[in-house]
Chain A
């Protein structure tokens, strides 16, 4: 019997689909752990040894704290703390992509308004300011000129917390009304979607409409390369991509993939694929500890 914990803070459509899928597997012993209900004692041995902790928390800081403690207790987490931390911070993510030579939009990072203005002169206008930590299209700004940048930076300095002292600036990519998202599970690009919107922000959380998108060889290659660069071979990753005249560019890499709008549109049972992969990773760990066949 494989012991698996599903770590959640909010039970959304994705988590319910995963819980239903986990419940269909008779060889799994599953606990759904709500992070807000847990009390950790880092000095005590783990109450229960899980073969795998499948992380689905939407709060980055709370999720990282829990993963730190589970991993310190010897648990294998999917995605791991390292992967979640890298994907949760765009500076770390872009550094990992750059190290691996994965194409991404031209980028500058600065830590003061004055340096950020210089960075924008290098990038040219329009450019996009993104929060280093944040998601769902929140707090993104398209800067068309220096006046707008100065006003925005003043607002950030006045209203923002420490997170707003990091200026992550991306060259604006003139998208054809859509961006793309590829789902990479265990090193395989299992499907992709387009996210179409009349707004320049094409997150589904902001109302973009999805449709299936064919995984061509270039899309497959760059998606797998991005997942490998940021997360390694075992991860569950959603890669966001832009189409450009020079080919695909990786916009960002997500560690807690949302897939509610991507199952019918792609015909791929993503919850089942996620659970299949989680079971495979857990089984590998069991066999490493107890020998071949122990996970059967």
Chain B
């Protein structure tokens, strides 16, 4: 699986989950896991105005 931003290989760890946010180790882009089988990722949505704690 490669980062859609920079093309680097993406490490999703040992227990990936759908909707999990993983950073690209190469370019720092936030990626969202969209499916596990097959494993697909895309750029995570940009932060919206009402997001937070």
Q: Which residues of A contact B15 (CB under 8 A)?
A: 16
Restricting to A128-151, which residues have a CB under 8 Å from any CB of B? Answer: 131, 133-136, 138-139
Q: Interface SS of chain B: helix, strand, loop or mixed?
A: loop
Q: What's the Cα separation between A258 and B18 when bound, in Å?
A: 20
Q: How large, as a class, is the contact surface on chain A?
A: 20 to 34
Per-residue A-contact encoding for B14-53, CB less than 8 Å = 1, 0 else: 0101111100000000001000000000001001111111
Q: What's the Cα separation between A139 and B52 when bound, in Å?
A: 12
Max chain A C-beta neighbours (<10 A), residue from B17, B19, B48, B53: B53
Restricting to A100-150, which residues have a CB under 8 Å from any CB of B? Answer: 131, 133-136, 138-139
- Does chain B have a CB within 8 A of A166? no
Query: Is A59 touching B50 in the complex (CB atoms < 8 A)?
Result: yes
**How far, in Å, is A155 (CB) from chain B's closest CB?**
15
- Does chain B have a CB within 8 A of A210? no
User: Which partner residue on chain B sits nearest A163 by CB separation?
Assistant: B49
Q: Which residues of B contact A16 (CB under 8 A)?
A: 15, 17, 20
Query: Is A257 touching B18 in the complex (CB atoms < 8 A)?
Result: no
Query: Is B53 touching A135 in the complex (CB atoms < 8 A)?
Result: yes
Query: Is A12 touching B50 in the complex (CB atoms < 8 A)?
Result: no
Q: What's the Cα separation between A256 and B53 when bound, in Å?
A: 5
User: Which partner residue on chain A sits nearest B44 by CB separation?
Assistant: A10
Q: Which residues of B contact A133 (CB under 8 A)?
A: 49-50
- Does chain B have a CB within 8 A of A19? yes
**How far, in Å, is B14 (CB) from chain A's closest CB?**
11
Query: Is A135 touching B51 in the complex (CB atoms < 8 A)?
Result: yes
Q: Which residues of A are interface residues toward B (Cβ below 8 A)? A: 8-12, 16, 19, 32, 34, 36, 58-61, 88, 131, 133-136, 138-139, 161, 163, 238, 254-258
- 19 A–B contacts from the bound complex (CB under 8 Å): A8-B19, A10-B19, A10-B32, A11-B18, A11-B19, A12-B21, A58-B52, A60-B50, A88-B50, A134-B49, A134-B52, A135-B51, A135-B52, A138-B52, A139-B49, A238-B53, A254-B52, A254-B53, A256-B53
